[in-house]
Amino acid sequence: MTGHVIDLNDVTVSQWNAILKLAHDIKEAPMVYAGACRGKIMGTLFYEPSTRTQMSFQTAMLRLGGGIIGFDNPSTSSVSKGENLKDTTKIVSGYSDILVMRHPLEGASKAAALTADCPVINAGDGGHLHPTQTLTDLLTLREEKGRLEGLTVGFCGDLKNGRTVHSLLKALSCYPDNKFILVSTDELRVPGYIKDYISASGKTYEEYSSLEEVMPKLDVLYMTRIQQERFASREEYEAQKNVFRLDAKKMKLASKDLIVLHPLPRVDEIAVEVDDDPRALYFKQANYGMYVRMALILSVLNYKLESQPLLRGEIINDATCTNPKCICHTEKYLPHSFRRAGDVIVCEYCDGRQLL
């Protein structure tokens, strides 16, 4: 069986580039690939609401000539009866050639892949990772900027819980000469493990609390919404939601070559007036997502991806992940698997860190 796609960094950069090249080719000549997945079935397990990711995956498979099964609301499945993740995954993967999962808990896709009978693609796991959105973002940059290196990329909004931000920062850290500008409130800064990854790759980042201050410096601005569903209370969300807003006035501060991306949905962090600016590419970005997911499905089903083993650390039975949003707290059967980093152990499901 070919590799799962849980974290984009589990496959090589050359494999990413091959997927992006295939996505470009599909965009240029979609009819050539119209029957490429005839007779194949994709299972979709969406434990969390989704519009673009779910529909673009479904459209991708249909345009390739394949079929679809699954659910987009766990209340309509046996999950509502208390079925655990392993059992749901085992059943649906037995019916499918490829499985796509979105889940609100971090590390869920990796946990599912441990026992699945077909390749699993992570379509977003809590605030952790979103590798297929990252491929979409990389394709957008490649098509619209003509390169994936030498870019100054600004990220603005909820950088703590934004899985799209985490995945894209990790991916762009693998290309030469990229720099990152991180704009957020103190409460919503990028997690430490992502900053460590950037630093280990030899890239630099700067942190700001003002969007206006950084606009002239950017080649790319990646806006994100403040995610209400990731906050413990409505009050915490309300305190953060209107801090950053991109409007026409701020766009005037930016270079004519800037491009503005957003994984969507937006709430009020980008004013509607910005939509008419030719530098606003977030709707076009969403369309690129269908082509990149077509390419990814083909790559997985044609055994062109070989990922790393899912668990590469060690089992420490007396250790428990301290991240309350980690899948390991609800799926009690999972191995207590951690990577060691000096005096720190790192959870292999959610990348949560703690002292030994």
User: Would you place residue 225 in the very low, low, confident or very high pLDDT band (cuts 50, 70, 90)?
Assistant: confident
User: Would you place residue 10 in the very low, low, confident or very high pLDDT band (cuts 50, 70, 90)?
Assistant: confident
Query: Above 70 in pLDDT, residue 309?
Result: yes
Query: Above 80 in pLDDT, residue 77?
Result: no
- Is residue 130 flagged as an active site residue? yes
Considering the candidates 103, 130, 160, 353, report the single residue annotated as catalytic: 130
Mean pLDDT of the chain: 91
Determine the pLDDT at residue 238.
53
User: CA-CA distance, 349 to 207, in Å (whole number)?
Assistant: 27
Same fold, 8-130+289-301 and 131-286: yes
Do 119 and 310 meet the contact criterion of CB atoms below 8 Å apart?
no
CA-based diameter of the chain, in Å?
56
User: CA-CA distance, 20 to 141, in Å (whole number)?
Assistant: 11
The average pLDDT across 156-179 equals: 92
Determine the pLDDT at residue 144.
97
User: Would you place residue 5 in the very low, low, confident or very high pLDDT band (cuts 50, 70, 90)?
Assistant: very high
Query: Above 60 in pLDDT, residue 91?
Result: yes
Closest to 168 measured CA to CA, from 202, 199, 129, 142: 129
Determine the pLDDT at residue 51.
85
The average pLDDT across 199-207 equals: 95
Q: Which of residues 119 and 161 earns the better pLDDT score?
A: 119
Query: Above 70 in pLDDT, residue 233?
Result: no
Considering the candidates 63, 102, 203, 325, report the single residue annotated as catalytic: 102
How remote is the C-alpha of 83 from its chain's centroid?
26
Query: Above 70 in pLDDT, residue 111?
Result: yes
Q: Which of residues 170 and 229 earns the better pLDDT score?
A: 170
Considering the candidates 76, 81, 234, 256, report the single residue annotated as catalytic: 81
User: CA-CA distance, 198 to 190, in Å (whole number)?
Assistant: 11
**Dihedral over Cα of 213, 214, 216, 221: its sign:** negative
Determine the pLDDT at residue 78.
74
Query: Above 60 in pLDDT, residue 32?
Result: yes
| Choice among 24-38, 115-129, 160-174, 227-241 with the minimum mean pLDDT | 227-241
Instruction: Just give the CATH number of 131-286.
Output: 3.40.50.1370
- Is residue 279 flagged as an active site residue? no
Determine the pLDDT at residue 244.
84
Instruction: Just give the CATH number of 8-130+289-301.
Output: 3.40.50.1370
Summarize pLDDT for 272-289 with one digit per residue, the tens.
Answer: 999 999 999 999 999 999
- Is residue 102 flagged as an active site residue? yes
Query: Above 60 in pLDDT, residue 239?
Result: no
Tokens, residue 137: 């973002």
Tokens, residue 59: 């459209």
Considering the candidates 52, 142, 250, 279, report the single residue annotated as catalytic: 52
- Is residue 53 flagged as an active site residue? yes
Do 180 and 172 meet the contact criterion of CB atoms below 8 Å apart?
yes
- For the chain, give the percent of residues with pLDDT over 90: 74
Judged by DSSP in three states, 163 sits in helix
Exposure b/e, 265-303, CB count within 10 A at least 16 = b: ebeebbeeebeeeeebbbeebbebbbbbbbbbbbbbbee
Tokens, residue 250: 């701020």
- Interior CA angle at 307 toward 164 and 7, to 5°? 15
Query: Above 50 in pLDDT, residue 48?
Result: yes
Tokens, residue 44: 């979709």
The average pLDDT across 74-78 equals: 71
Given the DSSP bridges, would you call strands 41-46 and 98-103 parallel, antiparallel or unpaired? parallel
Considering the candidates 44, 53, 89, 132, report the single residue annotated as catalytic: 53
Determine the pLDDT at residue 242.
63
Do 220 and 258 meet the contact criterion of CB atoms below 8 Å apart?
yes
The average pLDDT across 306-319 equals: 88
For the chain, what are the domain ranges?
A: 8-130+289-301, 131-286, 314-355
User: CA-CA distance, 175 to 30, in Å (whole number)?
Assistant: 28
Determine the pLDDT at residue 1.
39
User: Would you place residue 228 in the very low, low, confident or very high pLDDT band (cuts 50, 70, 90)?
Assistant: low
